[in-house]
Every structure is written in structure tokens, then in C-alpha cells.
Amino acid sequence: MDEQLLEVQDLEVAFATEDGLVRAVSGVSFTVSRGEVVAIVGESGSGKSVTVMTLMGLTRSPNSRFAGTARLRGEDLVSASEEQLEDIRGKEIAMIFQDPISSLSPVQRVGAQIVEQIRAHENISKAAALDRAIELMGRVGIPNARERARAYPHEFSGGMRQRVMIAMALSLSPSVLIADEPTTALDVTIQAQILDEIRQLSAESDAGVIFVTHDLGVVADIADRVLVMYAGRLVEQGTVDEIFYDPQHPYTWGLLGSVTRVDRDPPRRLPAIPGQPPSLVATPEGCAFRPRCPHAFDRCRELPPLAPRLAEAPGHLDRCWLAPSDKRARREVAGRIGLSEEAAAS
């Protein structure tokens, strides 16, 4: 059961731009096991999408620089050749994108698009591949799959298109499925349907799922483990309960504090994290959250390592110098008064 499918070690991704080197991902390490849903949470620009796109080999360009490894069942995705990647992509690791309309070809019937992917990896007849495509479309909840396979993407609604994307991603039973904000563009009732679908499919197929999102409600709903990213680094990592009930990093407190909840009466003022996320060209030295952190002190000028700091939870890692007892006390105060009053943006 606890077989590790994917092991990412010290992944670094940087892009050379006119403004300088953008360090999008710095020293990210994590693992994904069989049947596990790992959520990556963070705001825009935190590096969560770049991390998963790199696993798919989609960030390769003359301007990008990589370091570290990402081993998928022993094979390194970062240093793999294009030919090797072509073989792995779709078959061993597949991805569902945020925007299904721009991820599907508008001039090809959806059935044919799924068939194409299957036949790129397996030597089977068109008819057999189409049968499998139709079966998959039915499995992800597309009614009249046989007829709908002949339709074009524009004839589908947003939710149905996302189901087509899921069917395509599952067509070769990949061992790792990456979902990059798959429900962000969807309405809540459709989101609930798609989340149910993904949860059920990951349980059935025993694949590992990496779920990228900025919505903490979705995280609480679907994730087993959570990685919190800020300015290209992991700042905290733990099981979903550890992150929600005993968050260790002040940034995680801020994230949790600024969510609105439908099941509670709202506070008079929403606790907001003051300021803006830092630029990735000139990330502040030491802890990147320091300029926005109300608990920062001298030592924060030095980058804290991502390490377990709680004796009772060795799998719960965080990147903050504060002592755990100190954190709990401060967090309680922060929870009561809100992390801080909204500060004027500079």
C-alpha cells in the first residue's frame, strides 16, 4: 500500500527573463504514494503549477533551468529525454488542466482525441480504442457516451468538458494523476460532482493524485496530505488534519484565517494577510514570508529548513523558527483577533 510512486528531491525551476532569473520553484521535495491524494496549496505565483508542469515536462524551454530529481517509479522525469518523456507522459503520469476548453482540440471529435492518446501508446485497433474511450466517458458520468463521443468540445458544457479531460487522463491507467485546479472554472454544484468523480476514480484505480488548488475547502474535502507553498518553497507539509487543526507556519494560519465559511456566522472583519506576495526575482533573504509576518524576529533573516519540529508528528514539517509551544500560543491569539488588521498595500 505505502509504495512510493513519485519521489521529488530538491526540485529547482528557474526561468531567465529580461528582469533577471525568476526562481519559480526552490528546493521542493515530496513523495506521492499509491492511492494517496496530495494537495498543493498556495496563492498565484507560489510555484504550485510550475512544480506539477515540470513533472509533466511542460516547462522545458531554452530559458528554463532545472535542478534536482523527480523519480517516477525510479525513472527521473527532470533529466529524461524528450523521447523517454513521450513514452511516460499520458501513460505513467497524466494531467487534468484548469481550463478544459483550451486543452482540447476544437476541430477534432472528443472520442477521436481520446483514441489518439490511447493509440499513441498502445498497438490496438481504432475500433477497440474507441470502445475503450466510450467506456471511459461513461465511467466519468457522461450520459449517452457513444453518441457524445462524436461531438466536438464546443458542444459540451464546462463540467462535461472537464469529464472528457478526466476520461482522457485515465485512458491509459496512469500511476500518477495530476489535477491542476480542475474545478476552479466550474460552478459549485458541478465542482461537487467532479470532486466525487476524482475521489472515486483514485480509490478504484489506486493511482496517486496530485491536486493543485488555492481553495482550502476543496483541500479539506479531497486531500490526504497537504503541501503549502509560498514564493516557490514548501513552507509546511503534513496530513490534512495536521494542517487544518495544528498549522505550524504563520502563512498557513493566515490562509486558514482568511477563508470564508458558509457554515459559520462571519466575523465582523475578515482577517487578511497584509501586503503582497514577494517578487520571485528578488525574493527576500531568509524566510520569504518575513515582510508580511507579524511574528517575524531577527533569526528569520536566515532561511529556516523544512523540518519536523513536533515530537508527536514526525511527518509534519514546517519552515518556521518559532518554537512549537510559542506558535500554539500565538496562533490562538491570532485566531481570536484575526491575524492582523488589513494593512494598506504599498
Partner 1 sequence: MTENDTLVARPQPDGQQPLLQAEHVQLFFPIRSGDLIGRTIGAVHAVDDVSLSLMEGHTLGIVGESGCGKSTLARCLVRLLEPTGGTLRFHDTDITHLGRKSLQPFRREVQLVFQDPVSSLNPRKRVGQIVGTPMRLHGVRRGEVPSRVRELLERVGLNPEHVNRFPHEFSGGQRQRIGVARALATNPRLIVLDEPVSALDVSIQAQVINLLDDLQDDFNLSYVFIAHDLSVVRHFSDQIAVMYLGKFMEVSPAAELYHKPIHPYTEALLSAIPIPDPRENRDRERRVIGGEPPNPISPPPGCRFHTRCPRATDICKEVEPPLAEYAEGHLAACHHPLNVGSAEISAATRSPLSPLSAGSVMPGGREEAAPGTPLPGVSRVTAGPGESPDGQDGAG
The residues of the shown chain that bind partner 1, judged by CB under 8 A, are: 43-44, 157-160, 187-193, 195-196, 214-221, 240-241, 244-245, 254-256, 258-263, 265-266, 269-274, 276, 342, 344-346
Tell me the closest approach of the beta carbon of residue 265 to partner 1, in angstroms. Answer: 7
Q: Which is nearer to partner 1, 208 or 278 (CB)?
A: 278
Tell me the closest approach of the beta carbon of residue 200 to partner 1, in angstroms. Answer: 12
Quote the distance between the C-alpha of residue 245 and its chain's center: 21
DSSP-derived pairing of the beta strands 225-230 and 233-239 = antiparallel
Residue-wise burial string across 68-105, b where 16 or more C-beta atoms lie within 10 A, e elsewhere: bebbbeeeebbebeeeebeebbbbbbbbbbbbbeebbe
Tell me the closest approach of the beta carbon of residue 270 to partner 1, in angstroms. Answer: 4
For the chain, the distance separating the N- and C-terminal CA atoms, rounded to the nearest angstrom, is 50
Helical axes 110-121 vs 126-139, angle rounded to 10°: 120
Tell me the closest approach of the beta carbon of residue 338 to partner 1, in angstroms. Answer: 9
Q: Which is nearer to partner 1, 21 or 270 (CB)?
A: 270
Tell me the closest approach of the beta carbon of residue 70 to partner 1, in angstroms. Answer: 26
CA dihedral angle for residue 58, residue 62, residue 68, residue 74, rounded to 10 degrees: 50
Q: Which is nearer to partner 1, 92 or 197 (CB)?
A: 197
Q: Which is nearer to partner 1, 131 or 342 (CB)?
A: 342
Total residues belonging to the chain: 346
> Please, which residues bridge with residue 236 across strands?
228, 318
Q: Which is nearer to partner 1, 126 or 261 (CB)?
A: 261
3-state SS class at 28: strand
Nearest CA among 272, 273, 289 for reference residue 230 = 289
Tell me the closest approach of the beta carbon of residue 260 to partner 1, in angstroms. Answer: 4
Q: Which is nearer to partner 1, 259 or 337 (CB)?
A: 259
Identity of the amino acid at 164? V
Q: Which is nearer to partner 1, 123 or 346 (CB)?
A: 346
Tell me the closest approach of the beta carbon of residue 258 to partner 1, in angstroms. Answer: 4
3-state SS class at 175: coil
